[in-house]
Amino acid sequence: MNFQLSKEQEKVRELVRKFALAEVEPIAADIDKEHRFPKENVEKMAKLGMMGIPFPAEYGGAGSDHISYAIAVEELSRVCASTGVIVSAHTSLCCWPIFNFGTEEQKQKYLPDLLSGRKLGAFGLTEPNAGTDASGQQTKAVDMGDHWLLNGAKVFITNGGYADTFVVFAMTDKSKGNHGITAFIVEKGFKGFSIGKTEDKLGIHASSTTELIFEDCIVPKENLLGEVGQGFKIAMATLDGGRIGIASQALGIAQGALDVTVDYMKSRKQFGKSLNKFQALAFEVAEMKTRIEAARLLVYSAAFKKDQHMPYSVDAAMAKYYAAETAMYVTTKAVQLHGGYGYTTDYPVERMMRDAKITEIYEGTTEVQKMVISGAVFK
């Protein structure tokens, strides 16, 4: 067993940390206040190869691995969780299913633009009545002979307003339940496809979360992803990987909150001494730090197993469940340790606390992760 990162992984952390401190952190509070998608930083990340980290160079990827990818999302989220999830949703939820389930033609057509970051990706599974229960899909796809016709709507789609390429799920045979779901690659600009309302959320304000609307949307035959009826399997496999991304985001949020809390406690004085000199408060930090390290091991272990082509879905579920709870725990404590200042927007911890909450919800709630984990235990 070797707990050391490779030189490559260390250097990716060095790069993303440097980028995050110079380009992301300075605008993080503003884009949160303005609910503004940081398009300029997505373009900069694209140039640095951060939009295609774990994919091979032959399709335009950076040729690194999922641990490096997890580190990148972690380091971005350490200063801005919205920027972290832009990369995560793009990489895990759009690029990966096309890479893993796409035909060679589809890969050649879509991956170079996506992995180089010239285009942004998104994933459309959730519907008003189909969240955790994906079989409740009401979006329908009908085979029209020379094309597919999609009708329906998706909600809570990350990157929705800015994405160019969408992996979308629709029911092709309702009678088959989960086995009647099929995946498609939909491009912005396809006739009958539009973006609906943008959600006003508790946190991750700079991430674009929208509805997708399909009204007699024409999808070419060659844009079927995988096989007819394989959609549920594609969605679940994709979300397994996505959970590593969200777990990394949660880990980064927690680490970021700890960083600023440690600095604050060293400089803030009460009763004539700095806060870190109060043992009761210092012990809170010990608890935060330990949980973060435990979460980090779970996240990197899941990413390692994915890289080694070992089964990792339970590992990803545990990583996401624990990292998300850690993010919520650590950010809540961080606000508390900042006292009144922590409740104001003058300090970043209130934003981190609002951002942390979503990690317990999207890409499978904590309850879903526990279903996956307990299901494997009692198999």
Partner 1 sequence: MRIIVCAKQVPDTSEVKIDPKTNRIIRDGVPSILNPDDANALEEALLIKDSQPDTEVIVVSMGPPQAKDMLIECLAMGADKCYLLSDRAVGGSDTWATSNAVTSLIEKVVEECGPFDMIFAGRQAIDGDTAQVGPQIAEKMHLPQVTYVQKFEISEDKKVVTVQRQLEDGYEVIEVPTPCMLTCIKELNNPRYMTVSGIVKACKADAPIYVKSAKDCGCDLSKVGLEASPTVVFRSFTPAPKAPGQIIQGEDERTQSQNLLAKLKEKHAI
Q: Which residues are tagged catalytic?
A: 363
Q: Which range binds partner 1 by CB under 8 A, 63-71, 126-134, 186-194, 277-285?
A: 63-71
Task: Tell me how far apart the alpha carbons of residues 26 and 28 are, in angstroms, rounded to a whole number.
Answer: 6
Number of chain positions touching partner 1 (CB under 8 A): 21
Of these, 33, 39, 47, 174, which contacts partner 1 (CB under 8 A)?
Answer: 47
User: 196: which DSSP letter?
Assistant: E
Per CB under 8 A, contacts with partner 1 among 223-242 are none
50 touching partner 1, by CB under 8 A: yes
Per CB under 8 A, contacts with partner 1 among 107-166 are none
Angle, vertex CA 340, rays to CA 334 and CA 342, nearest 5: 35
Pairing assessment for the beta strands 147-158 and 193-198 based on DSSP bridges: unpaired
Q: Which range binds partner 1 by CB under 8 A, 62-70, 152-160, 167-175, 211-219?
A: 62-70
Q: List alpha helices for 231-348, DSSP H.
A: 231-267, 279-307, 313-338
Task: Tell me how far apart the alpha carbons of residues 315 and 305 are, in angstroms, rounded to a whole number.
Answer: 8
Backbone torsions φ then ψ of 186, nearest 5 degrees: -115, 135
Question: Shortest approach of partner 1 to residue 248 CB, angstroms?
Answer: 15
**Residue among 49 and 342 whose Cβ is closer to partner 1:** 49
Which residues neighbour 103 within 8 Å (Cβ) at sequence distance 6 or greater?
A: 222
262 touching partner 1, by CB under 8 A: no
**Residue among 68 and 158 whose Cβ is closer to partner 1:** 68
Q: In terms of C-beta density within 10 A (0-12 exposed, 13-18 middle, 19 or more buried), how is residue 133 classed?
A: exposed
Question: Shortest approach of partner 1 to residue 119 CB, angstroms?
Answer: 18
Question: Shortest approach of partner 1 to residue 38 CB, angstroms?
Answer: 17
Task: Tell me how far apart the alpha carbons of residues 282 and 273 are, in angstroms, rounded to a whole number.
Answer: 13
| Chain centre to alpha carbon of residue 179 | 26
State both tokens at 313: 């879905």
**Residue among 60 and 161 whose Cβ is closer to partner 1:** 60
Of these, 41, 64, 159, 172, which contacts partner 1 (CB under 8 A)?
Answer: 64
Of these, 27, 28, 31, 62, which contacts partner 1 (CB under 8 A)?
Answer: 62
**Residue among 50 and 141 whose Cβ is closer to partner 1:** 50
Length of the chain: 379
12 touching partner 1, by CB under 8 A: yes
68 touching partner 1, by CB under 8 A: yes
Per CB under 8 A, contacts with partner 1 among 70-109 are 72
Task: Tell me how far apart the alpha carbons of residues 370 and 367 are, in angstroms, rounded to a whole number.
Answer: 5
Rg, C-alpha atoms of the chain: 21
Of these, 2, 7, 267, 379, which contacts partner 1 (CB under 8 A)?
Answer: 7
Residues that bind partner 1 (CB under 8 A): 6-8, 11-12, 14-15, 18-19, 47-50, 53, 57, 61-64, 68, 72
